[in-house]
Every structure is written in C-alpha cells, then in structure tokens.
Amino acid sequence: MSIESIEGLDIDAWNRWVAYRQAIKKPLKEVSMAAAALKLSRYGKDQAEVVDQSISQQWQGLFDLKKKRDPAEPPQKTDKQKAADDARFNHQLDSNQKMWRETLQTPLGKLRLCDALLARYLMTPDDPQLEERLEWLKHIVGDLMRQVDIKLIARDAHLIGMASYFYGGAAIDKLRESVREVSDDKQGAMAA
C-alpha cells in the first residue's frame, strides 16, 4: 500500500511527521510507514494538530489529542480536596473570630480592621452597593480616628493610606501637623 493511496491523509502533516522522526534520529521503518500513515489518517481533520502535539511533546508516536480544558470552566475538585478546603476554611474562620474578638478591644485594632474591610470592598468595584458601603465605612473610620493617638495612625502606612483614600491629601497634612504639634508640646513641656 502506498502512502498516496491512503484516503483522507493530510500529506503536509504526514511529511512533517516523517521529517520530525528523521530529525530525532528515529526514522520510520519501511514496514511501519503505511500503518503510521493509516493511523494518522484516522484522526481526520485533527491530523495536523495530532502531529503538532507529538512534536511539541517530543513523542515518538501519534496519540489522541489531550483534551484541552476550557479556561472559563473551573477545574473539578475531588471530595477529598473539598473536605480539606472546608477544614482549612473552618480553621481560618475560628482563628479570625478569635483575632476579631481580641482586636476589637481597641480603637486602633478596629481601624486596622476597617483598613482590611476597605481593601475587600475595593476588590469588587462592580458591586452595586459599593458606594453605600464606602460611605458607611468612612463614617466609622472618622469616629475611630478621633479616638486613637494621632502618632499611632501616623506611623501606620496602611492607616495613612486609608485616611488619604477617604479624606484626601488634606487628611495626611492634618495628620502630620497634629504629630508636629504633639511633638512640639512635649518638647516645650520638657524644656520648662
């Protein structure tokens, strides 16, 4: 049987396959040529893709195409993986609740939680309730900032960033001015 007589064989794909096999110093033997060409022809319209796959994977044979996963479709987890995820989530939830109880004891801790909440809100810019939530958080942050030593806020880059986000550059200038005033007052008291 001659290669040209094989019905539906993609001659270009076949020639690339033969050239590849010769390039890797594994040329097809005379007795297997027809069988390999027949196998390739059975892949129909996917012949070129089958050859490309074998070449890119550096395979010596022709194999069915690996199923490509749709990037929009999330990978499926096994029951064991799901159980492990649930266990991690519950452990993290318990840990977060403990930290939440301890952190909520101080206004500074509450401010830091507000900063984390702001980051979470900003990660969902298309949330229809975003503006309402940000406005609510802005009022909470303003109340808490009045309860915390200004120096503690001024030393925390995250809190400064949150103040800047809600109240603009003027808030940062006010923070810095307040820190200077507190420092000046203490220096004056020490000198007296």
- Domain termination residue (choose one: 24, 41, 56): 56
Threshold 0.85, pTM exceeds: no
Of residues 173 and 32, more confidence is placed in 32
Q: Are residues 109 and 175 in the same domain?
A: yes
Q: How far apart are CA 148 and CA 158, in angstroms?
A: 15
Residue 172 lies in a domain: yes
Give 4-14 pLDDT, tens digit per residue. Answer: 888 999 999 99
Percent of the chain topping pLDDT 90:
42
Arithmetic mean of pLDDT, 42-61: 94
CB 111 within 8 Å of CB 159: yes
In percent, how much of the chain has pLDDT > 70?
90
Tell me how many domains the chain contains.
Answer: 2
Mean pLDDT across 34-39: 92
Residue 33 belongs to a domain: yes
Percentage helix, strand, coil, to 5, in the chain? 70, 0, 30
Q: Are 174 and 109 within one domain?
A: yes
Q: Residue 151 phi/psi, 5° resolution?
A: -65, -35
Q: Does 74 map to a domain?
A: no
Q: Are residues 111 and 42 in the same domain?
A: no
The answer to whether residue 154 sits within a structural domain is: yes
Is the same domain home to 113 and 49?
no
Q: Check whether residue 51 and residue 112 sit in a common domain.
A: no
Domain, as residue range, for 131: 105-182
Q: 81-120 pLDDT, tens per residue?
A: 989 988 988 888 888 777 767 766 788 888 988 999 999 9
Structure confidence at residue 47 (pLDDT): 94
Distance of CA 157 to the CA centre of its chain: 24
Question: Would you say residue 134 lies in a domain?
Answer: yes
Confirm whether 49 is domain-assigned.
yes
Output the average pLDDT for the chain. 85
Q: Measure Cα distances from 142 to 31, 114, 116 in Å.
A: 84, 11, 16
